[in-house]
Every structure is written in C-alpha cells, then in structure tokens.
Amino acid sequence: QLEWCDVTECQGNEDLMEEQKAIETAIEHYNELGISGGIIIVDGKCIAYALGERLNKETLVIHIEKAHIEYEGAYQAINNLFLKEFGTDIKYVNREQDLGISGLRKSKEAYKPIHMVKKSVIFR
C-alpha cells in the first residue's frame, strides 16, 4: 500500500492519506474485522491486492482493491482471483462507490452491475 501511495502521490492529498490510514488499520486488524484478503506478487513485489467480506449469504463486498497500473490487467486479475477464492458460492458482488471518479466508474460498469445507487454529497 505504501508503494501504491507513493506512485499516486498520496502525500499531497488529504483524502488519499485518510484512505491510507484506513487501509493500514484494516490490514493490521483483518482477523478482528472478519475481512478476507488476496494479493498478487510478481518478482517479490506486491502488484495488486484486495480486501473484502461477506455481507450476507448472497453478497460479497469488496472494500479495497489496489493495483500497480504499470502491470496491465492487474486490477482484473486481482478481482478474478479474489472472487474465485472467496466468492464461489455468492450471487452478488458489491464493488462499492466510484467516488465520482470517471475511470473508476467505467471500470465498475464494465462488470455489468444489476443495480447502482445514486449518491450525493449533502455537505462538506
């Protein structure tokens, strides 16, 4: 995660720094939180990882998914491998929000969601 943060220049972005702290906490306490994780390592280097949990018997929620963009297909690979490992008996996958980021929205829409919830910011 720290390497991903370096590549995306988290240090200058308060939102990304808060996300960084949350991810570090989730990884540190994944057993207590009941989340599962997957990782792809190439040449000793983590190139992608995902963290998620079962919401109910039909739904898996993927909370965090990160990959190095210089490894083409890494996002698709971690998604595929994570679902093969933890989602073989589920009906739905909740990939959470797109944060208003068009590239993230496009990537999530590529999985052909059956439903998306419109969200709005009420105040900041």
Q: Is the pLDDT of residue 100 over 90?
A: no
Pairing of strands 92-94, 59-67: parallel
Q: What is the pTM of this model?
A: 0.76
Give the residue-averaged pLDDT of 4-11.
Answer: 58
Confidence class for position 73, pLDDT limits 50, 70, 90:
very high
Domain boundaries, the chain: 35-109
What is the average pLDDT value for the chain, to the nearest integer? 81
The pLDDT confidence band at residue 123, using thresholds 50, 70 and 90, is: confident
CATH of domain 35-109: 3.40.630.30
Distance CA 109, CA 25 (A): 29
The strand ranges marked E within 1-124 are 36-42, 45-54, 59-67, 92-94
Query: pLDDT per residue over 8-36, tens digit each?
Result: 556 677 777 788 888 889 989 989 999 99
